[in-house]
Amino acid sequence: ERPAPPAVHAMSFVPAGVPVWSRVDAAMRIRHLDIHFDVAALSARIGEAPDRTALATPRLQFTDARIFSLARLIAEECGGPDTRHDVYGESLITALFIDLMRLAPDPTRRRSALSPRQLDRAVAYLEENCLRGLRLEELAALTGLSQSYFSHAFKAATGVPPYQWHMQARIRRVQEMLSRSALPLTEIAQAAGFADQAHLTRVFRRQVGTTPAAWRRDTRI
């Protein structure tokens, strides 16, 4: 399926040390607020340490009306000509952090999460080996998990199954070849591990919404 456009008021929580990528294929206006939490300071302010699973679990492209309202107030406080007392800003950050932690997975389902280190290793391996076929057992062995457990945990952490991430990485590499070289599509298809040009075209259209030839032409205008 063609990737969906970013949701309006979408938010993401990315734990420290977890790599994250994004791409925008069309011109659009974006307002972006980036917040880095001082967990030690917030824990002292709240009076208890946040759940470790909540801190280690990425949550991408979610929506929440309460958190968005707090984020908008924080953005206004940062960008406005007249800022209020520090306590006001600290209270907003604390409230946002508490609400964010409440979105953590149910503790009874913690086994579905990958640790940041496991996710980092799996993503790096998928990206580095995107031009060849990968077996699920390779990724499971890399993280020390069973195949079924890894597959479920990877999707819980990223929102997509491992094979889909792998194919998206392969298509990104194809796009690099299309934009940076004059290689014919038949050679690019072979280099990227596709059966033939027709196979590449079918997969590329599903992922990007257009053909490789059209994408190359449009990016060079």
Where do you find CATH 1.10.10.60 in the chain? 114-221
- pLDDT tier at 211, thresholds 50, 70, 90: very high
Distance (Å, rounded) from C-alpha 41 to C-alpha 97?
12
Scan for tokens 């209270």, then name that residue: 91
Topology given in CATH for the domain delimited by 114-221: Arc Repressor Mutant, subunit A (1.10.10)
| pLDDT per position as a tens digit, 53-101 | 788 888 877 888 888 888 888 888 887 666 555 677 888 898 989 888 8
Amino acid 205: pLDDT: 92
Amino acid 108: pLDDT: 45
Report percent pLDDT > 90 for the chain: 30
Q: State the amino acid at position 139 in one-letter form.
A: L
List 59's β-bridge partners, or say none.
13
pTM: 0.51
Distance (Å, rounded) from C-alpha 62 to C-alpha 105?
13
| pLDDT per position as a tens digit, 139-169 | 999 999 888 888 889 988 888 889 999 999 9
Select from 156, 135, 136 the least CA-distant residue to 146.
Answer: 136
Distance (Å, rounded) from C-alpha 22 to C-alpha 200?
22
Select from 159, 87, 83 the least CA-distant residue to 119.
Answer: 159
| pLDDT per position as a tens digit, 122-132 | 999 999 999 99
Select from 188, 221, 184, 220 the least CA-distant residue to 203.
Answer: 188
